[in-house]
Amino acid sequence: MFRSLVEVDTPALIIREEVAHRNIDRFQKHCDYNSLKLRPHVKTHKCVHFAKAQIAAGAVGITCQKIGEAEVMADGGIDDILIAYNILGDDKLGRLRSLAERTKALSVVADNDVVLGGLSRAFETASQPLKVLVECDTGGRRCGVQTPRGAIALARSISAHPGLGFGGFMTYPAIGGQRDVLGFMKRARAGVEECGIACPEVSSGGSPDMWHAHTHDGTVTEYRAGTYVFNDRSLMERATCSLEDCAGRIVATVVSVPSESRAIIDAGSKILTTDLLGLAGFGHLVGHPQARITDLSEEHGIVQCGPEDRFEVGEQVNIIPNHICVVTNMLDHAWLERKGGEMSVLTIDARGKLT
């Protein structure tokens, strides 16, 4: 399944294009079949190349977390963007206004009135109102209004603010928490409709629960998933995907075998990151089921060998990272492996866009 790639200097990230496209198509078909709009989160690939592939497959638009990501995607020709983040501060608001002027459809989220105040000041003179969705905390315990009552109040506040238009409700549920989404959103939607406000969209998300995205009796209208495009060890371990569905792998070189039980690879936290996502070890070593990456420093991965593992200095190994989204953020470039094995440079266009 994985060729030996002596021509690739290590450590490096390789993306198998065919697998990524298969992942895109498969989940798009699932959404289409279930009449669910798909709005992929670009945080996983951060590449205009793959955002365009997602749109071409049928996605309604994309999701970004930061204005900087959205700017890069707009530069690349994507014109329907949700920025799923509370945006604050004059600098960001000015950029948001400029971005709105050069995209067909731009929307954001908010979970409090301070954010609404800033958005309204920035857009009260705009030619089109900015669509704002109310972020709801349905158990994920991150951002979001805490109750349907709070969601209804904020939706009414959006409608009352000059320059803004209510775009619906949005949530990033806890893993396995789609059932909680249903009750919260139904009450919120009913509440705003009673006030005579239309609720255009109910947006949920998360790759771990993607294959249950449709089990909402029509309440959820739009789904945001990011990781599904490449998949990773965290989704493999949850049985959301298989090893064959993992489009991204890190190629590393064994640089030292200090003892029979330990090998050192040149992939450390500068490419694998220390994200565990609840797993043990810092990645899945393909073809070495007994070996464990037990520790990382910045440029070293410490591999604890199983009794049958024999690693040789200079040998290349393939690793499925725990969390692929944070890996792409470490790299300005990855390798794109075409079907026939041909390699080309893949620029991670929106790497490190923090603001």
Q: Which residues bind a copy of itself (CB under 8 A)?
A: 9-12, 43, 65-66, 85-86, 88-89, 91-92, 111-112, 114-115, 137, 141-146, 253, 255-259, 262, 264, 266, 269-271, 273-276, 297-300, 302, 312-314, 325-326, 329-332, 352, 354-355
CB-nearer residue toward a copy of itself: 25 or 315: 315
CB of 222 to a copy of itself, least distance (A): 20
- Taking the least distance from each CB to a copy of itself, the nearer of 222 and 275 is 275
Residue 206, sorted as left (phi over 0), alpha (psi -120 to 50) or beta, turns out to be left
**Closest CB to a copy of itself among residues 94, 183:** 94
| Minimum separation from the CB atom of position 24 to a copy of itself (A) | 21
66 or 131: CB nearest a copy of itself = 66
Q: Which residues contact 222 (CB under 8 A, 6 or more apart)?
A: 36, 37, 38, 39, 60, 201, 202, 203, 204
Tokens of 28: 């798009």
DSSP 81: E
The nearest distance, CB 323 to a copy of itself, in angstroms, is 9
Q: Which is nearer to a copy of itself, 219 or 269 (CB)?
A: 269
**Please, what is the minimum distance in Å from the beta carbon of residue 9 to a copy of itself?**
4
**In the complex, least distance from residue 105 CB atom to a copy of itself, rounded to whole angstroms:** 22
In DSSP notation, 291-355 reads -EEEEE-SS-EEEEPPTT----TT-EEEEE-S-HHHHHTT-SEEEEE-TTS-EEEEE-TTTT---
**Which of 31/272 has CB closer to a copy of itself?**
272
State the nearest-atom distance from the C-beta of 126 to a copy of itself, in Å: 21
Q: Which is nearer to a copy of itself, 28 or 138 (CB)?
A: 138
Quick one: 39 or 353, whose CB is closer to a copy of itself? 353
User: What Rg do the C-alpha atoms of the chain give, in angstroms?
Assistant: 22
CA distance 280 to 266: 20
Task: State the nearest-atom distance from the C-beta of 212 to a copy of itself, in Å.
Answer: 21
- The full 3-state SS of 146-196, as one line of letters, equals CCHHHHHHHHHHHHHCCCEEEEEEEECCCCCCHHHHHHHHHHHHHHHHHCC
For residues 98 and 102, what is the distance between their CA atoms, to the nearest angstrom?
7
For 132, the enclosing helix (H) or strand (E) is: strand 130-136
Taking alpha carbons only, the member of 220, 141, 225, 132 closest to residue 181 is: 220
Could you identify the residue written with the tokens 């220390």? 274
As measured in angstroms, the least distance from the Cβ of 355 to a copy of itself is: 5
Q: How far is CA 24 from the centre of its chain?
A: 13
Q: Name the pairing type of β-strands 262-265 and 248-259.
A: antiparallel
Using the minimum distance from each CB to a copy of itself, give the nearer residue, 221 or 227: 227
In the complex, the smallest distance separating the C-beta of residue 56 from a copy of itself, rounded to whole angstroms, is: 26
Report the distance separating Cα 270 and Cα 69, nearest Å. 21
- In Å, how far are 27, 30, 60, 133, 256 from 37, measured between CA atoms? 11, 10, 6, 16, 49
